[in-house]
Structure 1
Amino acid sequence: MGNLGGKVALVTGGSRGIGRGIAERLARDGALVAVHYGSNEAAAKETAAAIAEAGGRAFVVGAELGVPGDVDTLVAGLEAGLHAHGEPAIDILVHNAGLNLMGRPIEVLTPEEFDRMVAVNVKAPFFLTQRLLPRLRDGGRIINISSVSTRVASAHGIGYPLTKGALEVFSHTLAKHLGPRGITVNAVSVGYTRTDMTSEVLADPANVERNIGLTALGRIGRVPDIADAVAFLASDDARWITGTKIDVTGGVNL
């Protein structure tokens, strides 16, 4: 049993990529993990099965984010899973799910596209947190996955960085609000990371070379680089860290 034994975690967007890595790492550390997915149920079940095969515990929760009733659907599924495992509350909430419409500079980004990113990246975390605060134990953890694009001007569009900037403000403001309950709130800034969702971009050797050249540690990030940082923030070792952003980018654009 790891240092999260007896804890319960919800990871949004936990079926693939960075979210899957986070879910698997938290489970390996002993947490019961609710693996949320938006549309790919098979991937979520595969993640939960991999966790179980490794000796951990997990269940899946399905809810498309950014649509009417998204929080209601997610919370209903979470509560059903918690009840099935005899758990009344959660300890760790990781807002990982996100939508990035790349290649959409200000000249072409539509109101509908902008609204979709805000709905998934800002509105859903805000109101999901609001609903779950009564179920989040004192001394708990909220961890928001952000992006290096909030400090480095993005060549891929302005909408996504705007939403992640809002999430970072949400983090430190909420940290002050929840401090009396001993709940820490932090953001993790992610840089160039190799996942199934970035495989197409990183299939181009020129993109790989350019991104490595911008990174102080001289390589593309890997999913465990992010998951390990999240696991640290979720642990008791990070009990005195709140209201901040951890840059987990390998030193992009230093």
Structure 2
Amino acid sequence: MSFVDQVAVVTGGASGIGEATAKLLAARGARVVVADVTEEAGARVVAEINAGGGAATFHRVDVSDAASAQGLVDAALSTYGGLHLAANIAGVGQPPSRLHDMDVAVWDRIMDIDLKGVWLCMKAQLSHFLAHGGGSIVNMASGAGLKATPGQPAYAAAKAGVIALSQQAALEYARDGIRVNAVAPGLIASPAVAALPEEVRAQYAAGQPSGQLGRPVDVAHTVAWLLSDDAAFVSGMTHLVDGAWFQR
């Protein structure tokens, strides 16, 4: 699963699953544009990749802004001369809430980043891939987009939208040499989960069939496989990475 001579953009690349994905792609030869709104953390990830012999650069992106999403593609082209792979991982979680109690501003923020942000990034990426012979995209969904999760109405709706959007794009662009897939993680030991109280983390882990949370790198390996030529005939799929959580 080599990515030598390929250029990748990874949104949400400054932490968690995005960071693990950026580092894995770079370790396998890709030149990576690490994209995030958090500049300091993004610079750290880039420094660690480059210190390990990889090739990476940081680009600040607000995925909810169309010009910023297009600017990310432009940055890949100006820095590395091409773009072949895209992992749209940037997203935000939802404070637990029942639907009728949700604040409109919270709903709008989640939709802007988790769903609209994926669409805007894909819009820019697809335009480039259409003009340059194809490419591969992986979007970050969630198990919550496939199975109702208490207290997560906006997050679940946004992630279900990511799944539908990925399927739609996979169908529409198959003849253009473009593959689009989604990954649906279960409970992962991400920075957001790590910030929760210990008793909440313990409750989450206890709900896992294995008794433990997944790691960001577990998801990154699936993203990398879907982006690679090893998955050349895989498109329009949503791949669970959940340690059998969905089978409860």
TM range (shorter): over 0.9
**Larger mean Cα displacement after TM superposition, 16-25 or 216-225:** 216-225
Task: Give the equivalent residue in structure 2 for 1:116.
Answer: 109
SS in 2 for 1:14: coil
Matched with 1:37 is: 36
Counterpart AA for 2:113: V
The within-5 A match list for 1:95-174 is 95-136=88-129, 137-174=132-169
Aligned residues: 245
Residue 82, structure 1, aligned to residue 77, structure 2 = yes
Q: Is 1:25 aligned to residue 20 of structure 2?
A: no
Q: 1:167 to 1:81 in 2, by over 3 A?
A: closer
1:61 and 1:78 in contact (8 A); partners too: no
The AA in structure 2 aligned to 1:4 is F
Q: Is the CA contact (8 Å cut-off) linking 1:65 and 1:124 kept in structure 2?
A: yes
Shift of 1:142: 0.8
Cα RMSD after superposing both structures: 1.7
SS at match of 2:223: helix
Task: State the match for 1:196 in structure 2.
Answer: 191
DSSP 3-state at the match of 2:245: coil
Report how far residue 81 of structure 1 moved: 4.6
**TM-score, normalisation: structure 1:** 0.90
Contact 1:215 1:253 in 2 (8 A): no
Deviation at 1:78, TM superposition (A): 4.2
Q: Distance in 1 between matches of 2:75 and 2:164?
A: 32
The answer for the alignment partner of 1:177 in structure 2 is 172
Report if aligned partners of 2:87, 2:139 keep a CA contact under 8 Å in 1.
Answer: yes
Task: Specify the code of the residue in structure 2 equivalent to 1:51.
Answer: I
More helix by share: 2
Distance 1:78 1:173 in 2: 21
SS where residue 221 of structure 1 aligns? Answer: coil
1:18 CA displacement = 0.9
Percent of aligned pairs with the same amino acid: 26
For the residue of structure 1 that corresponds to 2:101, the secondary structure is coil
Task: Describe the superposition over 1:55-92 as per-residue Cα deviations: whole angstroms up to 9, x where unpaired.
Answer: 111111112233xxx2312433542453233x1x3111
Summarize the alignment of residues 213-228 of structure 1 with structure 2, pairs less than 5 Å apart: 213-228=206-221
Distance 1:134 1:113, change over 3 A: same
| Cα distance in structure 2, aligned partners of 1:218 and 1:178 | 40
- Residue in 2 aligned with 1:92? 85
The secondary structure found in structure 2 opposite 1:193 is coil
Q: Does 1:186 align with 2:184?
A: no
For 2:40, what is the secondary structure of its paired residue? helix
